[in-house]
Amino acid sequence: MSALLESRVQTLQRVFAHIASTRMQGVPVQNPALRVQAVGFAPQLDPEGGERLLGVLVTPWFMNLVFLPLAEPRAGGAVLGVGQKARHQIGNQTFEFIGAHEDGLGAFACCSLFSPMFEFVDHAAAVATACEVLNLLRTPSPTRQPMQPADAAPSRRGFLLGRAGASA
């Protein structure tokens, strides 16, 4: 992990840990068994050719997919404004992200996966779920064989070897 990437992820965690202990303290939507953790952040090219980080942010009150610019964005950059929405393709899925901003972190975009977080019995279960979500999104889907016409008989070799296909 590059120093810049690690620094951005640590800043994300630190900012949301601060939010948990200040603005969110005592708010009843929090699961007390959970804590703030950034999970699986890795570089990904954005549509404009820049680089951003994609991962999951687990907090006691939500689990979000997060796009975090690798460098703190400048005003007018390719980051969504607060409250703006955009659809992004990740793997074979399309998600709607909303722009956000936090002091000390800057602009980022997030997509809610879970909120509130009461379904998770402990922090390990929440992190395992976040890892599985990222694994599913980052695993390429298997290539599908083209459909054969219903009346096409498989070749003898194809039939014996378990491969469909019309006889030659």
User: Quick count: other Cβ atoms within 10 Å of Cβ 78?
Assistant: 14
Range 70-75, long-range pairs (CB < 8 A, 24+ positions): 70/4, 70/5, 70/8, 70/43, 71/4, 71/8, 72/105, 72/106, 73/106, 73/107
Instruction: Tell me how far apart the terminal alpha carbons of the chain are, to the nearest angstrom.
Output: 52
What is 3-138's CATH topology?
A: Yope Regulator; Chain: A, (3.30.1460)
pLDDT grade, residue 72 (50/70/90)? low
Give pLDDT tens digits for 16-42.
999 999 999 999 999 999 999 999 999
Res. 61: pLDDT tops 60: yes
- The pLDDT of residue 167 is 47
β-pair partners for 52: 44, 69
- Look at the chain and count its residues: 168
Task: Render the burial of 44-76: b for 16+ CB within 10 Å, e for the rest.
Answer: eebeeeeebbbbbbbbbbbbbbbbbbbeebeee
What are the sequence ranges of the domains in the chain?
3-138
Q: How far apart are CA 14 and CA 141, in angstroms?
A: 35
pLDDT grade, residue 75 (50/70/90)? very low
Contact 59, 38 (CB under 8 A): no
